Structures are given as structure tokens and as C-alpha cells.
Amino acid sequence: MRRSTLERPPAVPPPLLLAALRPGMLRLAAAEADGVILNWLAAADVPTAVAELGRRPDGFEVVARIFVCPTADVGHARALGRRLITTYLTVPAYAAFHRWLGRAETLDPVWRAWAAGDRRGAAAAVPDEVVDALVLHGPPEDCRDQVRRYADAGVDVPVLALLPTPELAAGGPAALADLIARLGPAGERGAGVNLTDRVVVITGGAGGIGAALAYRFAAEGAAAVVVADLDVAGARAVAEAVGPVAHAAELDVTAEDQVRALVADTERRYGRLDLFCANAGIATAAGLDAAPADWDRAWRVNVLAHVYSTRAVLPGMLARGQGYLLHTCSAAGVLTAVGDAPYTATKHAAVGLAEWLAVTYRDQGIRVSALCPQGVDTPMLAEGLAAGHLGARVIAASGAVLHPDRVADAVIAGLAEERFLILPHPEVANHARRRAEDPDGWQAGLRKLVRRLRS
Ligand SMILES: NC(=O)c1ccc[n+]([C@@H]2O[C@H](COP(=O)([O-])OP(=O)(O)OC[C@H]3O[C@@H](n4cnc5c(N)ncnc54)[C@H](O)[C@@H]3O)[C@@H](O)[C@H]2O)c1
């Protein structure tokens, strides 16, 4: 690495993972890198490779590429596996790796046939046990259990190299989506996100995204869902519709004493508070000349309220060593809300605060997600569109306007993965990347859209 220079070195050096097979490289990885990438080894081989790493620095990652052919068609899996093994394990570095792992005798006939130019004979000489150990196959759940053996043996990050199967060829994209879910860790798929028995508070729960979260959390098995809102009649209607696990609370999120009282009441009733969703938010549809009271209110509802609720819940969560904060920010917090200066500024602040919390408290068991949707079909956006506000029209022209239930889907998936940035509109990630890489180009694109909508 000494003689290699990057034209544009990243500000924060990325982790360096070294692909390593045999002892020298494995030891080099442990001494110099942030992790090691293993390849073409069986779960039973992992301890041999890991032992060579010796003492590793904290945070060092062992990554393994694992070939998976999730099919009930054993013949298909073994034929494909044989072909792959014959082409890979005859490459000198991989042959030496498997000699070191103790397969010299088993694979010798393969190497000899290959050297003599007999590719068919080489493939035929790979014993079934070797194919089965190196190319996992069977129903997806069996493959998942076999992958777990790698994890149990010391692999931190299993990277699945998914091979084609007859089932995938017949089932198309839907079969692929189903397969990926079934290969995931057991009990953490879809409904498996652990909201079971959780005690949840949602602010701004009387409608829109907050109400959709309340319904969804209850459906996922939450023990208690507190629907809090300034609009207490709306909150009551939602809590009633959600069912007996829910109850309504009148709350102004900008009044710190009210927030503290609600948190204390929840902890008293249920013994804990697992997930606090700071979701209440307001838009102003105003530019720089927004009235001072509007600037102030946007700041208090969209930002300070997140400070108040976090201050109220943290002592209990830290004492238990765990807790989850879901802060509804907005795509406006990572991009720009055309036509609404206070909303843009305060949502950027909300994302900044959430990020600060994640960095500061994650190691004490506090998980933080910032929910950043673009257009969602709620009263907030509907009112903007009905009034013909430019900002609402830009949102509607920028991509799909999602039903709040789709936002709840994204939240469930994001919480399951403990992902910081939850983006119900995946395109927001691309916009944000573009904005970071080329701010001028990105702004020019947005101005063009605005000119088009104005004309
Ligand atoms: N709708 C969208 O397109 C969109 C997009 C991105 C982000 N968001 C964000 O999602 C969140 C929810 O918005 P929504 O779209 O469901 O809008 P909404 O207007 O339907 O819901 C907001 C809720 O917050 C409540 N609220 C407002 N001020 C409050 C206060 N001081 N105390 C307690 N409750 C208060 C309102 O009564 C309302 O029930 C907001 O933070 C919003 O900024 C919305």
C-alpha cells in the first residue's frame, strides 16, 4: 500500500479488508487490516483459518463468501457445484489453500485429470462430500442453517453468493424476493421484527404516518401503543380503532413538562418504554419571510421536541441498557423542501440531531433511526396540494406519493435491521448521493424541475 496513492483520498479512511487464504496472508490481515475475506471454504474449515489470525484487534471482521444453491434439486446443485469447484480449486492459489486445509488426497485425482486436459474427468472426480461442504444446497431454510454453522465457527459476515436454481428460473423476481427473505436469519423476517411485547409511544399519532405506525405496531404484537397528539380527539379515534393495546394521550410535544409526564406515566404503567417515535411535525409552506412565530414553531415542533423526548426517555433506556428512538425527519432533511425554508432548515437539524444521538449513545444500547420519507399521502401533503403550494407540487412531481402503510412497512424493515436512515422512497438515497457528490449539478436539476412546474 505504501507505493499506492489515491487521486482523491476519502476524508474518512474506509475499512480495509484483506482477501486471504493461507497462513501468511491471514496473519498479514490480522496485523494490518480491519478484517479478512475468506473464500471457498467449508464451515468445518473456518476454525483452521481463524486460528491463523491469532489475536485480532477489536472490531476486526471475518467475512466469508459462501456459495449457496437453494434448491430441492440435488442433481442440479451438485452438477453446478462440481463445475465451479473444478474451475476454482484448480487455480494454484486455491489448490494450495485446500492442500493446507487437508484435502490433498481427496482432490489429487481432480488436479491430475485437470492437468491432463480432462475437464469432464476432473469434475467427475470431485466427491459429493466436497461439493456438499463447499456449495450449500437444499431448501432455503436448510441453507440458512448451514450458513449459521459458518457464523458459529467464527465468521462475522457471511456473504452469500447465490447460484441459479430451477425454482428461481421458473418463479422470476417474486421467487427471488421470497428466497432472500427465507435465507435471512430465522425469526427476523417480515413480521419477525421484534416489536412483540414492546411498549411504544408515537407522537403525532392522530393521523397520517403516526396513525399508520400505531396500527402496524399493534399488528406486530406490541404490548402497548400510546397514541399521543395535540389533537386528542383524533388520537382517541386512532387508539380505539387500534384496539385494547392502545390508548390516547393529549400532548403538546413542544412542552417539555408534558413530554416528561407522559414518559413517566408510560414507564409507571408498563414498567418500561422500548420505542419512542418522535413523529409529530409541521410544515409552513413559507419562504424566508415566514413569520417569526412560524420559524419558532417549526423549530420547536420539528427539532426541540426531539430533544425533549430524548431527554425524557434516555435515563430509563440507559438504565436498562437498551431502547430505540425513531425520529420522523423527512427527505427534506437530507435534500431540500422547495417552497418551505423553515421546514428544510429544521428537518436538516432533526437529521443532524438524530445522527448525533446515534453516534453518542449507540454503544450504550440506544438505537436510533431517522425516518426520511418524500411524498406521503397524509393531511400534511394533501392540504399543501389542495392549496396549490409549490413545495407540495414539487414533491408530487418528484416521485411516488406513498400510502402511510407503505411508510410503516419501511419502518418495520428498517427497525429490524436497526438501520439509521430509513428511506421509504429508495430514490432519495440516489438524490442524496448525487447532492453530496455534485451539489451544483444537483441544485441545477432541482431548479429545472421548479421552473418547469412554475411555467
Ligand atoms: N406527508 C409527507 O409527505 C411527509 C414527508 C416527509 C416527512 N413527513 C413527516 O412525517 C411526520 C408526520 O406527518 P404526517 O405526514 O403524518 O402529517 P400529519 O399532519 O397528518 O400528522 C402530523 C401530526 O402531528 C400532530 N402535531 C402537530 N404539532 C404537534 C404538537 N405540537 N404536539 C403534538 N402533536 C402535534 C398533528 O396534530 C398531526 O396529527 C411529520 O414529522 C412530517 O414532517 C411527512
What pLDDT is attached to residue 364? 86
> Which of ligand 1's atoms lies nearest the C-alpha of 234?
39
Q: Are strands 323-328 and 199-203 parallel, antiparallel or unpaired?
A: unpaired
> Which of ligand 1's atoms lies nearest the C-alpha of 231?
37
> One of 94, 308, 343, 361 is an active-site residue; which one?
343
Check if 375 has its Cβ closer than 6 Å to any atom of ligand 1: yes
Class at the top of the CATH hierarchy for domain 193-454? alpha beta
What percent of the chain lies above the pLDDT cut of 70? 98
Contact 285, 340 (CB under 8 A): yes
Q: Could you read off the pLDDT of 15-71 as tens digits, one per residue?
A: 899 999 999 999 999 999 999 999 999 999 999 999 999 888 888 999 999 999 999
Domain residue extents for the chain: 17-186, 193-454
In the reported structure, the alpha carbon of residue 282 is separated from the centroid of ligand 1 by a whole-number distance in angstroms of 6
What pLDDT is attached to residue 181? 78
In the reported structure, the alpha carbon of residue 264 is separated from the centroid of ligand 1 by a whole-number distance in angstroms of 23
Query: What's the CA gap between 455 and 452, in Å, rounded?
Result: 5
- Comparing CA positions, the residue from 138, 129, 164, 137 lying closest to residue 68 is 137
Q: Which of 353, 376, 427 to mutate to test the pocket of ligand 1 (most atoms within 8 A of CB)?
A: 376
- Comparing CA positions, the residue from 286, 306, 405 lying closest to residue 349 is 306
β-pair partners for 201: 226, 276
Say whether 193-454 and 17-186 share the same fold.
no
Residue identifier of the C-alpha nearest atom 6 of ligand 1: 330
Whether residue 11 is predicted with pLDDT greater than 60 in this model: the reply is yes
Q: Which of 201, 202, 203, 209 to mutate to test the pocket of ligand 1 (most atoms within 8 A of CB)?
A: 209
> Which of ligand 1's atoms lies nearest the C-alpha of 377?
1
pLDDT band at 192 (very low <50, low <70, confident <90, very high): very low
Q: Between 180 and 117, whose confidence is greater?
A: 117
| Three-state secondary structure call for residue 36 | strand
Check if 323 has its Cβ closer than 6 Å to any atom of ligand 1: no
Residue identifier of the C-alpha nearest atom 1 of ligand 1: 376
Residue 343 annotated among the catalytic residues of the structure: yes
β-pair partners for 227: 202, 248
Query: What's the CA gap between 386 and 392, in Å, rounded?
Result: 9
Whether residue 3 is predicted with pLDDT greater than 80 in this model: the reply is no
Residue identifier of the C-alpha nearest atom 20 of ligand 1: 208
Check if 203 has its Cβ closer than 6 Å to any atom of ligand 1: yes
Following DSSP, what letter does each residue of 273-291 receive, concatenated? --EEEE---------TT--
Beta strands in 142-295 (DSSP E): 157-162, 199-203, 224-229, 246-250, 275-278
| Three-state secondary structure call for residue 371 | strand
Check if 301 has its Cβ closer than 6 Å to any atom of ligand 1: yes
> Which of ligand 1's atoms lies nearest the C-alpha of 282?
43
Go through the chain and tell me how many residues it has: 455
Hey, what's the cell of 190? Answer: 417480515
Check if 252 has its Cβ closer than 6 Å to any atom of ligand 1: yes
Residue identifier of the C-alpha nearest atom 23 of ligand 1: 204
Q: Could you read off the pLDDT of 17-27 as tens digits, one per residue?
A: 999 999 999 99
pLDDT band at 173 (very low <50, low <70, confident <90, very high): confident
> Which of ligand 1's atoms lies nearest the C-alpha of 331?
6
Q: What are phi and psi of 20, to 5 degrees?
A: -140, 145
Query: What's the CA gap between 250 and 176, in Å, rounded?
Result: 45
User: Both ends of the chain: CA-CA distance in Å?
Assistant: 55
In the reported structure, the alpha carbon of residue 243 is separated from the centroid of ligand 1 by a whole-number distance in angstroms of 22
**Residue 217 to residues 56, 323, 341, Cα–Cα distance (Å):** 41, 16, 33
> Which of ligand 1's atoms lies nearest the C-alpha of 208?
16
- Comparing CA positions, the residue from 68, 90, 74 lying closest to residue 134 is 68
18-22, 118-122, 361-365, range with the lowest pLDDT: 361-365
Check if 256 has its Cβ closer than 6 Å to any atom of ligand 1: no
| Three-state secondary structure call for residue 333 | helix
Scan for cell 430533544, then name that residue: 307
β-pair partners for 161: 67
Class at the top of the CATH hierarchy for domain 17-186? alpha beta
In the reported structure, the alpha carbon of residue 451 is separated from the centroid of ligand 1 by a whole-number distance in angstroms of 28
Following DSSP, what letter does each residue of 62-84 receive, concatenated? EEEEEEEE--S-HHHHHHHHHHH
Query: What's the CA gap between 131 and 123, in Å, rounded?
Result: 10
Q: Between 194 and 124, whose confidence is greater?
A: 124
In the reported structure, the alpha carbon of residue 439 is separated from the centroid of ligand 1 by a whole-number distance in angstroms of 29
- Comparing CA positions, the residue from 40, 354, 376, 437 lying closest to residue 211 is 376
Check if 384 has its Cβ closer than 6 Å to any atom of ligand 1: no
Check if 281 has its Cβ closer than 6 Å to any atom of ligand 1: yes
